[in-house]
Structure 1
Amino acid sequence: MTLPLLILRPLDGALQTEQRARYLGLQAVVVDPLFTVEPIPWSYPVPEDFDGLMLTSANAVTHAGDCLKSYRALPVLAVGRATAQAAANAGFHVSETGTSSGQQLLDDLQADRCRRLLWLAGEQHSALDPGEREMTVVPVYRSRAIALGEKAVACLKQETVVLLHSARAARHLVAELERLHMEPGPHHILAFSAKVAAAAGAGWKSLQVADRPDDESLLSLATRLCQGE
């Protein structure tokens, strides 16, 4: 039996995940974001006060606005390949690309590099420990939670494989299912990380964590599960 794949991340990222899923041969793919991403007003620190720009989401590039150009002289530390590509497309030089998380990116950075960092972040972000570095955090966008959409609700009336890319999405999905009096039991959760899996909680038909926090690992699990391999 072929199971549908439900993608709930914000639209820009969701469409990229959908494209990858279809490239892998998955046909029953449903995109219905649980969040909408929007820019917020932000202060513009003087670029000369920093020697590195940290980006932990492509959303920062998409939603920071025209003032982002002022920071193009700063080398970019990108949390992953998608963020690095977005920064490169916007004319930035990406000097470091992480493979796991923002904290891993900082921990792996050589001690003498990027001592004064500007982090353009989301309004809701996890705290990071910069160690001996100075780091200024400036939120430039927000992800606003919305109700579970009609396509997602219809999909979840049958056994479904659900991709969860963040702990916040996991918690919001659980709350939405409770609000709609829908049971988690028929569904399979594929979590981006152990933190996301913990936020999803128990009660699902199955719950698996990607080997690495990236779409390739997540969709590798999805392909086997959706196609009954």
Structure 2
Amino acid sequence: MTLPLLILRPLDGARQTERRAKDLGLRTVVDPLFNVEPIAWTAPLPENFDGLLLTSANAVAHAGARLKSFRTLPVLAVGQATARAAGDAGFHVVETGRSSGQQLLDDLQADCYRRILWLAGEQHSALNPGEREMTVVPIYRSRAIALGEKAVACLKQEAAVLLHSARAARHLVAELERLRITPDQHHLLAFSEKVADAAGRGWKSLQIADRPDDESLLSLATGLCQSG
């Protein structure tokens, strides 16, 4: 019997992960822990910037029509999913960070992209731009919701749980405590060390993706779920 794979990320991303997982023959349960929604924002003048930082595909999905005015700016994307979303929206992606926004900024050449616009989520990690100027404009929010019925039912048996963000990890831990569900019969597959740290200990097993992308995460899931 294969283990079910519980996908908790927001719905748009969850559907993409689910498609990839099913292509690998995995049995999935999708029940997002967050609803992503656009928020009102004022678009600054594109000519004031020489680079556009996107750390999530949610920025592309929820920015609305005003996003088009920034197509003249080269995009600095975190992760392949964000880069694909930006490319599909007509942007030219010049840099793709493999681990985090901070890593991407740190790896930029010193004389490139001195005035960066970051279209971010309402709740975002702080980034240090160094000597660059960076303007942060929140354009969407991820609203935490209670663990859904499908997820609760899935967690009544041994399962593999995908976690894509530290915030999701903290919220899941809180929900498990609220529902008195112990994690010790479940396997955690974490997007990064930061996510694993936020999820804490007590899991039946915990594995961290070699790279922060679905391909690496689902490679772990395939080995775990199909041998479960």
- Using the size of structure 1 for normalisation, the TM-score is 0.98
Return the letter of the residue paired with 2:18.
E
Partner of 2:159: 160
What secondary structure sits across from 1:185 in the alignment?
A: helix
How far is the alpha carbon of 1:88 from its aligned partner?
Answer: 1.1
**Equivalent runs, 1:28-107 vs 2, <5 Å:** 28-107=27-106
Return the letter of the residue paired with 1:173.
L
**Deviation by residue 1:87-110 (Cα, 9 ceiling, x = unmatched):** 111111111111111111111111
Measure, in 2, the Cα distance between the counterparts of 1:84 and 1:208: 25
- Using the size of structure 2 for normalisation, the TM-score is 0.98
Partner of 2:141: 142
Unaligned runs of 5+ in 1: none
What secondary structure sits across from 1:162 in the alignment?
A: strand
**Equivalent runs, 1:142-221 vs 2, <5 Å:** 142-221=141-220
**Deviation by residue 1:141-188 (Cα, 9 ceiling, x = unmatched):** 000000101110000000000000001111111111111111111100
What secondary structure sits across from 1:129 in the alignment?
A: coil
Measure, in 2, the Cα distance between the counterparts of 1:184 and 1:91: 43
Unaligned runs of 5+ in 2: none
**Deviation by residue 1:27-64 (Cα, 9 ceiling, x = unmatched):** x2001000000000112111111011000001001101
Partner of 1:15: 15
What secondary structure sits across from 2:83 in the alignment?
A: helix
Partner of 2:2: 2
Measure, in 2, the Cα distance between the counterparts of 1:95 and 1:115: 15
Measure, in 2, the Cα distance between the counterparts of 1:89 and 1:202: 39
**Aligned alpha-carbon RMSD (Å):** 0.9
Query: Does the 8 Å CA contact 2:55/2:82 hold for their aligned counterparts?
Result: yes
**Once structures 1 and 2 are overlaid, which stretch shifts more, 138-147 or 102-111?**
102-111
Measure, in 2, the Cα distance between the counterparts of 1:147 and 1:55: 28
Measure, in 1, the Cα distance between the counterparts of 2:16 and 2:166: 20
Return the letter of the residue paired with 1:4.
P
What secondary structure sits across from 1:95 in the alignment?
A: strand
Q: Extract structure 1 runs of 4+ deviating beyond 3 A.
A: none
Query: Does the 8 Å CA contact 2:79/2:212 hold for their aligned counterparts?
Result: no
Measure, in 2, the Cα distance between the counterparts of 1:43 and 1:49: 14
Return the letter of the residue paired with 1:20.
R
Measure, in 1, the Cα distance between the counterparts of 2:205 and 2:175: 19
Measure, in 2, the Cα distance between the counterparts of 1:25 and 1:3: 11
Return the letter of the residue paired with 2:5.
L
Identity of aligned residues (%): 81
| Aligned residue-pair number | 228
Measure, in 1, the Cα distance between the counterparts of 2:208 and 2:84: 25
